[in-house]
Structure 1
Amino acid sequence: MLIRERVPSADPRIFQLFDAWLAARDGQAVTRRSTFDPLPIGPLLSFMWIYRKCPEQDDYVCELAGEDVNDAWRGSIKGHTLRQIVGDEHQPILAARWATVLGEPAILYSSMERFPAPHLIYRVERLVLPMISDTGEIDSVLGISLYDQRRERASVGHGASGTVPDTVVKIAVADL
């Protein structure tokens, strides 16, 4: 499948969620939330989340977050807006990406490394997928966030800033 060609080194769990989403499409371009069955990918639930676009708040609201996701944010994020979770600086960036996911529709894979302390490497891989609600509108994003914290020194070549820029891969659903 196209995502495997574009990001062959992605964590295999990224492909497991993608395959489950593809299988649930049932001939449609985008999966319906009501027909998506998470049981076959049960071990991934801890890393998964769903946000719904909430026009009245001009934001996305978290409707589901697994244990590992909540742990990464140091508490339950269910019911919170994207702005409340990621802050004013990062919300516009993520909201614009998710608007692409819903509007085109498309899928997004991203990988990011940050070095918040001299001896801690923090990495996250994400896959974001569009979903159709019961109203028939593409208004939700289903995602997986795979967090990795390793205690080791930053490798040579990352530069003085200590950060590696985001890698974001977009694939139009029409190309699947």
Structure 2
Amino acid sequence: MPSSRDYDFKLDWSVVREASLGPGDEGVLVTEKNRRLFARWMAAGHGEWMVPRDSFDIVELGALVGSLCVHDRDEDQDDYLCRVCGSDVAGDIGIDLTGRLMSTYPDLFREAVRAGYDRALATRRPFVAVHLLVRTERASLYPREEARVLHEGLILPVTRSGRGIDCFITHVARLPASALAGDATVGSTCPNGIA
């Protein structure tokens, strides 16, 4: 598996906004798709924080498949294994993460993403983060910016075993730059990695 230094680009990943979510917090979510997914997670849990993985049928989520990621928790390695990385997500970040451990992701990206999954694991609550992603080619002279994308990622902790949180379904919604107008960090030309 590649290390984070094997990629021919650099990912700057700035946290714009983040929060753990509970009942009544759907208004925090910017996108309608994430609000619907959050409502589904709440309904599937029947007021509990142990939502079964099989409550989310891939056929029913068909319209979201390109923007979904599924990670399994690997307790032995204290890591997360990406089982599925949607094609829209892979296109935005420049990497198909399917089959890779989170520890192999590019540095700042790994740190920001891992923090969200660790928080969802600890609280057993959904976690939302809005990130500004800037992908720049690795070049000693005049590195060129390849992409600048604003994402709202909703991490839903679920259980396969029924004994604990061991899986995460994440929907990554692309936002227009104007979605958070007035937030100074969104248009920043110099992302700072992790806020």
Whether TM-score is above 0.5 comes out as: yes
What is the root-mean-square deviation of aligned Cα atoms in Å? 3.4
The match for 1:80 among 100, 111, 117 is 100
Choose which of 78, 96, 120 in structure 2 pairs with 1:101: 120
* Larger fraction in strand: 1
Kept after mapping to 1: 8 A contact 2:26/2:39? no
Query: Relative CO higher for 1 or 2, CA cutoff 8 Å, sep ≥ 6?
Result: 2
- The answer to whether residue 71 in structure 2 is matched with residue 51 in structure 1 is yes
* Matches of 1:94 and 1:75, distance apart in 2: 14
Say if 1:112 and 1:166, in contact at 8 Å, map to a contact too.
no
Are residues 80 and 22 of structure 1, via their aligned partners in 2, closer, same or farther at CA, if it must alter by over 3 Å?
A: same
Residues 1:23 and 1:83: Cα distance change in structure 2 (over 3 Å): same
Shift of 1:125: 0.9
Does 1:146 find its partner at 2:173? Answer: yes
Query: Residue deviations 1:75-116, cap 9 Å, x none?
Result: 43211011223x234434432331221122121111122455
Per-residue CA deviation, residues 128-158 of structure 1 (Å, 9 max, x unaligned), is: 11111225221221111123577xxxx9955
1:21 — aligned with what? Answer: 41
Match of residue 191, structure 2, among 158, 163, 169: 163
- Mapped to 2, the partners of 1:98 and 1:157 lie a distance apart of 26
Deviation, structure 1 residue 122: 1.6
**Which residue does 1:172 correspond to in 2?**
none
Cα pair distance change 1:164/1:130, threshold 3 Å: same
- Given that 1:50 and 1:65 are in contact with CA atoms closer than 8 Å, whether structure 2 keeps it comes out as yes
Output the TM-score relative to the length of structure 1.
0.72
Provide the rounded CA distance (Å) in 1 between the counterparts of 2:109 and 2:147: 22
Q: CA 1:92/1:20 → structure 2, altered by over 3 Å: closer, same or farther?
A: same
Kindly provide the amino acid, as one letter, of the partner of residue 3 in structure 1. D
Residue 140 of structure 2 is matched in structure 1 by none
Distance 1:120 1:46, change over 3 A: closer
Structure 1 position 69, deviation (Å) = 1.9
- Over the matched positions of the two proteins, sequence identity in percent amounts to 19
TM-superposed CA distance for 1:16, in Å, is 1.8
2-structure distance, mates of 1:108, 1:45: 19
Q: How many residues align?
A: 161
- In the alignment, residue 130 of structure 1 is paired with which amino acid? P
**In structure 2, what is the Cα distance between the partners aligned to 1:89 and 1:165?**
6
Q: How far does residue 127 in structure 1 lie from its aligned partner after superposition?
A: 0.5
Judge which range, 50-59 or 32-41, deviates more. Answer: 32-41
Letter of the 1:76 counterpart = D
Query: What corresponds to 2:110 in structure 1?
Result: 91
TM-score (norm 2): 0.66
Counterpart amino acid of residue 167 in structure 2: S
